[in-house]
Amino acid sequence: MGAQLRVYKRRIKSVTATKKITKAMEMIAASRIVKAQRQVAASTPYATELTRAVTAVATGSTTKHPLTTEAETPTRAAILLITSDRGLAGGYSSNAIKAAERLTERLRGEGKEVDTYIVGRKGVAYYGFRERKVTDSWSGFTDSPTYADAKQVAAPLIAAVQQDTAEGGVDELHIVFTEFVSMLTQTPVQHRLLPLSLDKAAESVTSAAAAAGVTKGEIRPLFDFEPSAEDVLDALLPRYVESRIYNALLQAAASKHAATRRAMKSATDNAGDLIKSLSRLANAARQAEITQEISEIVGGASALADATAGSEN
């Protein structure tokens, strides 16, 4: 019994240490969520206004540009998948990867070749283990991305969009990331960044304007393009892609911290339940050991009494 009790005590000690670690990680993730939420809130208006400007330029001109003009027969598409560098976040990365795979299957079903770009070590490891081709990848900044990181990611994607498909370019650019809805809800989503759908962009801008208190019948400003609408679109193209990728990176970072917090809270609660269960088993083993010792003492006393009585006789 003594050996079994020692085993229980060692397990309780080990689980208690693990519980302290998971609790600390939960608190760290909770503190990072607040910062990530603020960054998301700060970047969203810029991305919305930039989309508004691009929509205004595109609707106010007849210029054909890769930012707004769809290819007649698109043959190649690029997908940017945003995952995490670290684990301990439940199904955060795996859910984003599944969404990217569904999108890939759909695009290939439409007869398009797919180039995959990945942010985060988890996505890179997933594709590398399955020996799938990755056009380019980045890692090391998913927990706290900056605008410089977004520019680094956007550069080869913009180059691919501007390049002819016969030379390795792409006709479409899609992004898959985890959208931060609330502390309890994070949803993997996929959006087509390029070419920009003017109808959807207009709806998005209208919704953002309504949220800001702008009336539906408000007159929109008129624009004069200098030197030309095409030059304006050329200047807006990298800014648009960079801002959207930056916002997606921030959304993904906030979602990852929320998923980590939820996973660590679940691990902490499970550790507490396991400690209670092991404590009950340890108490039962201790009680059994005490009972056995009492039985041995009583048995020894009884045997001694019988021996004394026999010697007197």
What's the rounded Cα separation, in Å, for the pair 267 and 193? Answer: 37
Q: How far is CA 194 from the centre of its chain?
A: 23
pLDDT of residue 178: 93
pLDDT of residue 222: 63
CB-CB contact of 161 with 194 (8 Å): yes
| HSE-up of residue 25 (Cα within 13 Å, Cβ side) | 23
First to last CA, the chain: 39
What's the rounded Cα separation, in Å, for the pair 69 and 85? Answer: 35
Residue 190, judged by CB atoms within 10 A of its CB (0-12, 13-18, 19+), counts as middle
Residues ≥6 apart with Cβ < 8 Å to 48: 204, 205, 208
7 in helix, strand or coil? helix
80 in helix, strand or coil? strand
- Please name the amino acid found at residue 17: A
CB-CB contact of 193 with 175 (8 Å): yes
Return the sign of the alpha-carbon dihedral for residues 121, 122, 127, 133.
negative
Using only C-alpha atoms, the chain has a radius of gyration, in whole angstroms, of 31
Query: CA 190, 194, 199 angle in degrees (round to 5)?
Result: 85
What global pTM score does this model have?
Answer: 0.78
Q: Measuring CA to CA, how many Å separate 260 from each of 89, 94, 250, 268? A: 4, 14, 15, 12
What's the rounded Cα separation, in Å, for the pair 242 and 81? Answer: 15
pLDDT tens digits in sequence order for the chain, 313 residues long: 567 888 888 999 999 999 999 899 888 888 888 888 888 888 888 888 887 777 777 666 666 766 777 777 888 999 999 999 988 888 899 999 999 999 999 999 999 999 999 999 999 999 999 999 999 999 999 989 999 999 999 999 998 988 888 788 898 999 999 998 888 888 999 999 888 765 554 455 444 444 444 444 445 556 676 777 777 777 778 888 898 999 999 999 999 999 999 889 889 999 999 999 988 888 888 888 888 788 878 877 777 777 777 666 5
CB-CB contact of 87 with 225 (8 Å): no
pLDDT of residue 240: 86
CB-CB contact of 89 with 184 (8 Å): no
Strand ranges in the chain using DSSP code E only, listed in sequence order: 76-82, 113-119, 136-138, 172-180, 186-194
Query: Was domain 31-264 assigned CATH 3.40.1380.10?
Result: yes
